[in-house]
Amino acid sequence: MQEYKRIDISRDDVLPLAERMKKEGRFLVMIHGMINKEGQPDVSWDYAVDPVVESYHVVGETSFPSIGAVYAEAATWPERELNELFGFSFEGLDTSKRLFLPEDMLETQGRGQIMVTPLKELVEKNVGEVNP
C-alpha cells in the first residue's frame, strides 16, 4: 500500500538528490510549496520510490537550485509554478515566459505572490455592499 515518508534536507542536497533519483529511475511525483503554520517557506521534492512517496523538504529558504537539467519539464513546470505563485526562485530556471499568470502581470507587477482576498473578507465586503 502507498506510504508517505518525510525527510528534511538542506538546499545544497536538492540537486545531488535529484541526480541520484534520476540514476535510480525514480519518478518525480511533484515539487510542492507552501508557507507553513510557522510562517516558514516549505518546499518539498516528492519522488516515487514505489510504493512509498519520499518527500524531501527544505524549510526556511526561498531560493533553490533548479533540477530542470535532470528532470527537464517534469521539474521546470512545477518550479515555474512555484516561482509565479509563491515567488520562490530557482537558480538556472528560465522565467522569461509565463506559465500560469497573465502576460501583463509579469511585466507590470513583477513576479511573486498574488494577493488573494480571503473568502471571509470577500463575503463581509459583499454583504456590506449589498446591505450597507
Partner 1 sequence: MSYIIPIGPYHPALEEPVHARLYTEGEVIRDAEVFVGYNHRGIEKLATERNAIQTLVLVERVCGICSHSHAFTYALCVEELNGVEVPKRGEYIRVITAELERLHSHFLWLGIACHIIGHDSMFMHIWDERELVMDILEELTGNRVNYAMCTVGGARRDVSDDLRRRILEACDKLKAPLDRITEIALTDKTIAMRTKNVGVLTREDALKLGAVGPHARASGVDIDVRRDAPYSAYGDFEFDVPVVESGDVFARVVVRALECYESIKIIRQALENLPEGPINLGAKLTKIKAGQTVKRHEAPRGQLSYMLVGDNSFNNYRISIHVPSYKNTPTVPHMLRGNTVADAGLIIASIDPCFSCLDR
Instruction: Note whether 96 binds partner 1 by CB under 8 A.
Output: no
Instruction: Note whether 110 binds partner 1 by CB under 8 A.
Output: no
Question: In the bound complex, what is the minimum distance in angstroms from residue 62's beta carbon to partner 1?
Answer: 17
Question: In the bound complex, what is the minimum distance in angstroms from residue 120's beta carbon to partner 1?
Answer: 7
34-63 footprint of partner 1 as x/- string (CB under 8 A) = x-xx------x-x-x-xxxx-x--------
CB atoms within 10 A of CB 48: 15
Instruction: Note whether 120 binds partner 1 by CB under 8 A.
Output: yes
